[in-house]
Chain A
Amino acid sequence: MSETRTPWWAALPVVSDLRRSRGLQRGMLIVGVTLTALLVLTAALAPVIAPYSWAQTSGPDGDFGTQQPPSSAHLWGTTVSGFDVLSRTIWGTRTALGVIVAAVLASIVIGVLLGLISGYVGGWLDRVLVMFADAIYAFPSLLLAIVMSIVISGGRSSMWGGILSAALSITVVFVPQYFRVIRAEAVRLKAEPFVEAAKVMGAPHRRIMFTHILRNATRTLPLILTLNASEAILTLAGLGFVGFGIEPTAAAEWGYDLNRSVADVTSGIWWTSVFPGVAIVLSVLGMTLMGESMNDLNDPRLRTRRKVRKAAAAAAAEGGTADEPGLAVEGGTR
């Protein structure tokens, strides 16, 4: 048993994954983390980086003009409505991030609570909840999101109204995922001897649920969280693209921009669609890579390990003498 303990931050999800990754998996993880960090940074620094506001159509030198090609004044050109593409793409990260945070938070809280109760209590309550979750699964997620966004905001709205309605509609789609994962864990853990031990002690249900089950059921959450975040961006973009997103004057939103640039593509105006499109692809790619590589790393069967050090193996074979570090580990892991 080693006396030197690893620092607390080394146990955080992404950090611990980075520390034990190797080779291609490490590359994937690093790319994913970098892209995601870039997204967060851009969103945080948007007022500093972006040359204009998201709804600005004119500067000190007069109107921007519509569908202008990239130039020194507008590095990525302007849109058909006369917005600066660069600025809208940068401001768009804020909307995307806001939706992700709101959607993921809401769905985690609701999904985890429902899953825990459903898995632990079981019986008819469990059946009903599972049936609801399955029913929601059966709907195409975008369709559901459209319906929800109409219900919540009547289709179009202000920045926060839009973000919240997009987030809530995404929440409806995500809750079943968290629900299912936590429920499955709760059902599994319910039969574990340490939960039975708590029952024998006479622990009340709430204590069993939160101290014993929930604390052991959250292992896979960071993973679903990252994968869901990327899906949230896609759903938001999809909502914007079909016209149920956020007003262009209320906030910048990539899906809306893509929608408006459809006509441009045929007339050779590439900049209005490429940049928001690339922004979507990179954000989704970043989070997916992060989630996927964490998935692989958390599964011992998929995790690649460093190659055997031939020298060490040979040394152990040669003398057949006790190798102290090896012994220490043996004792510690038992």
Chain B
Amino acid sequence: MSESTLPAFATSGEPDRLRIEELAVTFVTDVADVHAVKGVSLGVAPGEILALVGESGSGKTVTGRSVLGLLPETAATTGAIWIGDRNVVGLSGAQLREVRGQDVSMIFQEPSSALNPVFPIWWQFGEGLRAHDPKVTRRQIKQRAVAALAKVGIPDAERRITQYPHQFSGGQKQRIMIAMALEMGARLIVADEPTTALDVTVQAEILQLLRDVRDAYGTSIILITHNMGVVADLADSVAVMYRGQIIERNWVADLFSHPQEAYTRQLLDAVPRIGRASASAGVTDQSRAAFAAAEPVVEASGLVIEYPGRLGVLPFRAVRGVDFRIAPGEVYGLVGESGSGKTTIGRAIAGLEPVSGGSLKVFGHEMRGTRERDFRPLRSRIGFVFQDPATSFNPQLTIEDAIGEPLAIHRPTMSAPDRGAAVRRMLEAVELPAAYAGRFPHELSGGQRQRVSLARSLVLGPDLLIADEPTSALDVSVQATVLELFTQLQAEFGFACLFISHDLAVVDMLAQRIGVLYRGELVEQGIGSEILGSPQDPYTKRLLASLPVPDPAEQAERRAELARVLAEPAPR
């Protein structure tokens, strides 16, 4: 274990806001005890932003939650957590409640589920305020709520405190959570993946807000995240967790420039960066012309997809007039934020959503008004990789059955041994041992499952693969290996691919051409390196500038760039 504390934080002479000493957390499960945290020691100085990074299962969230005593009953905690002069470990419910809110507050990953949907915002402020001061009046609560919302930059606070959580966007809800923590007077905020559920442009705003909060009120923040870009953007110091222990603790600049541990290096190397291994770098005018001349696999012109509204409600237009084409053997990257319609387009190509207007041709077959019976023969030429590997497999089928299912459907005459051999060939292609054929999906890790998902989608040798955010549910290091495998397979099998992602850096690694979607419209498309190198559309510019890079020095420059982009006229 490396040293767990750093020389005193530059600006302070005060004692540490939080000291964790030899914290160990054990969970009792049906099978055996799980030691989630094994002897963690940490100190957080006043005004320090500490990033706790690590893969899922490394114990970072458990460490963060134990500071507030927010662990389930099955957890046993030993060691000490000092907040001021009080040890949180072993406090009773009433004593804990005194600490929570006033001394420490927490911001959760999913702001929509952290607010009670049936009460207005001011009431939710009141919950916390009343817990520590039962005599506080309704008028006082409202006054303080207005002041707090104004602090975190929500305009028209007077009116908005009477609104309900669903009337706010995700980013605004996260602002409200931060405002509540501030209003309670919390001097330490534990932020558990505060921006993971948010779009990258909103993420940049929330990170800026957290930085402002620290600068204005000297609040200490523990930032739990897996995103190295976020770490580089916001943190002062970093603690890298691996299997329940802190393996490296250092100032952010030093950690990024001179990582000591092999694991930290690996973690940093796995983060995709725009321009490092761009797939479009080698695209020449010649190959561009070749792509353009070929008969397209997918061709959309004026594509419109609507979700029907209820009686008297207008249908929701998810995709509004999109034109693009995918040539055989080409990887087309579709990027956009949540709600931009990128997944809807992918699903429409696979025949999972009906096309409402314009034209969408898949292998020359018009999808508008098509019937399932006519489209089914073409399905054997399309593979689909879903976002979440945990739910895209039937838990009752073995890996062999899952990969063999397309064969069983489209080649019913194939004998069982032949099918088994085909499955094993595919397992080999995705670099999994053949012995995995007999396992069930839940016995595999997320990365392994996504490999199986690739194997399943490629077993029929399709001409088109639709990959819908295939790596966004994976850890960074796992994502890197899956993306590498994907590139290999694409070169080997030569399928065309629609690669859907919200991560510009990932798309840059894979796609020759990129389309940027914004609110159902394709604002920009073209060769990847050209779009990412010199974006023309204001939205693309904003998207690019918002993306944090895992390098603190460069990220500081980019922040200035983002401020400049934001000052320009906003996209429609």
Chain A residues with Cβ under 8 A from B38's Cβ? 316-317, 320-323
Residue from the list A215, A317, A327 in contact with B22, Cβ < 8 A: A317
Whole-angstrom CA separation of A317 from B80 in the bound complex: 11
Contact: A325 with B32, CB < 8 Å?
yes
Q: A215-B394, A326-B32 are in contact. List 9 more A-B contacts (CB 8 A).
A: A194-B391, A199-B351, A202-B377, A308-B75, A316-B35, A317-B39, A321-B38, A330-B36, A333-B34
Interface string of A179-215 (1 = CB under 8 A from B): 0000000000000111011111111100100011001
Known A-B contacts A193-B388, A203-B405, A317-B78; A330 and B34 likewise in contact (beta carbons under 8 Å)? yes
Whole-angstrom CA separation of A44 from B205 in the bound complex: 73
Closest chain-A Cβ to B545's Cβ sits at a distance in Å of 33
Contact: A308 with B26, CB < 8 Å?
yes
Interface string of A292-324 (1 = CB under 8 A from B): 000000000000011111101110110111110
Most buried by B among A202, A322, A332: A202
Residue from the list A216, A320, A321, A326 in contact with B395, Cβ < 8 A: A216
Chain B residues with Cβ under 8 A from A194's Cβ? 391-395
B294 is an interface residue with CB less than 8 A from chain A: no
A37 is an interface residue with CB less than 8 A from chain B: no
Contact: B443 with A1, CB < 8 Å?
yes
Whole-angstrom CA separation of A204 from B409 in the bound complex: 8
Known A-B contacts A194-B393, A312-B26; A305 and B74 likewise in contact (beta carbons under 8 Å)? yes
Number of contacting residues on A, CB 8 A? Answer: 43
For B30, the closest partner residue in chain A by CB is A20
For A189, the closest partner residue in chain B by CB is B394
B160 is an interface residue with CB less than 8 A from chain A: no
For B446, the closest partner residue in chain A by CB is A334
Residue from the list A203, A309, A323, A327 in contact with B409, Cβ < 8 A: A203
Contact: B405 with A201, CB < 8 Å?
yes
Chain B residues with Cβ under 8 A from A308's Cβ? 26, 28, 33, 74-76
Known A-B contacts A320-B245, A329-B29, A330-B57; A200 and B24 likewise in contact (beta carbons under 8 Å)? no
Chain B residues with Cβ under 8 A from A333's Cβ? 29, 31, 34
Whole-angstrom CA separation of A165 from B55 in the bound complex: 61
Contact: B396 with A215, CB < 8 Å?
yes
B382 is an interface residue with CB less than 8 A from chain A: yes
Chain B residues with Cβ under 8 A from A329's Cβ? 29, 31-34
In A245-269, the 8 Å CB interface with B consists of none
B325 is an interface residue with CB less than 8 A from chain A: no
Chain B residues with Cβ under 8 A from A201's Cβ? 379, 405-406, 409-410
Closest chain-B Cβ to A247's Cβ sits at a distance in Å of 47
Chain B residues with Cβ under 8 A from A215's Cβ? 394, 396
Chain B residues with Cβ under 8 A from A320's Cβ? 1, 22, 24, 38-39, 245
B350 is an interface residue with CB less than 8 A from chain A: yes
Contact: A200 with B32, CB < 8 Å?
no
Whole-angstrom CA separation of A316 from B388 in the bound complex: 34
Chain A residues with Cβ under 8 A from B332's Cβ? none
Whole-angstrom CA separation of A211 from B409 in the bound complex: 12
Contact: A200 with B384, CB < 8 Å?
yes
B386 is an interface residue with CB less than 8 A from chain A: yes
Known A-B contacts A308-B74, A317-B22; A334 and B57 likewise in contact (beta carbons under 8 Å)? yes
In A49-65, the 8 Å CB interface with B consists of none
For B77, the closest partner residue in chain A by CB is A313
Whole-angstrom CA separation of A333 from B376 in the bound complex: 37
Nearest 9 pairs of A and B residues by beta carbon = A320-B39, A202-B379, A317-B24, A317-B78, A308-B76, A193-B392, A313-B76, A326-B35, A200-B384
For A203, the closest partner residue in chain B by CB is B409
Provide a sorted-by-A list of 27 A–B residue pairs whose CB atoms are within 8 angstroms. Answer: A1-B443, A193-B386, A193-B391, A198-B394, A199-B351, A199-B352, A200-B351, A200-B379, A202-B380, A202-B409, A211-B397, A216-B394, A305-B28, A307-B28, A308-B74, A312-B33, A313-B24, A313-B26, A320-B1, A322-B38, A322-B243, A327-B243, A329-B29, A330-B34, A333-B31, A334-B56, A334-B445
Contact: B394 with A200, CB < 8 Å?
no
Contact: A314 with B352, CB < 8 Å?
no
Contact: A192 with B391, CB < 8 Å?
yes
B79 is an interface residue with CB less than 8 A from chain A: yes
In B60-92, the 8 Å CB interface with A consists of 74-76, 78-79
Whole-angstrom CA separation of A334 from B58 in the bound complex: 11
Chain B residues with Cβ under 8 A from A197's Cβ? 384, 386, 392-393, 456
Whole-angstrom CA separation of A305 from B32 in the bound complex: 11
Chain B residues with Cβ under 8 A from A200's Cβ? 350-352, 379, 382, 384
Chain B residues with Cβ under 8 A from A216's Cβ? 394-396
Chain B residues with Cβ under 8 A from A322's Cβ? 38, 243
Closest chain-B Cβ to A75's Cβ sits at a distance in Å of 46
Chain A residues with Cβ under 8 A from B406's Cβ? 201-202
For B439, the closest partner residue in chain A by CB is A1
Chain B residues with Cβ under 8 A from A319's Cβ? 39
Chain A residues with Cβ under 8 A from B35's Cβ? 316, 323, 326-327, 330
Closest chain-B Cβ to A203's Cβ sits at a distance in Å of 5
In B1-44, the 8 Å CB interface with A consists of 1, 22, 24, 26, 28-36, 38-39
Whole-angstrom CA separation of A320 from B78 in the bound complex: 11
Whole-angstrom CA separation of A314 from B22 in the bound complex: 11
Chain B residues with Cβ under 8 A from A207's Cβ? 409
Chain A residues with Cβ under 8 A from B56's Cβ? 334
Chain B residues with Cβ under 8 A from A313's Cβ? 24, 26, 33, 76, 78
Whole-angstrom CA separation of A196 from B352 in the bound complex: 8
Contact: B28 with A306, CB < 8 Å?
yes
Contact: A316 with B26, CB < 8 Å?
yes
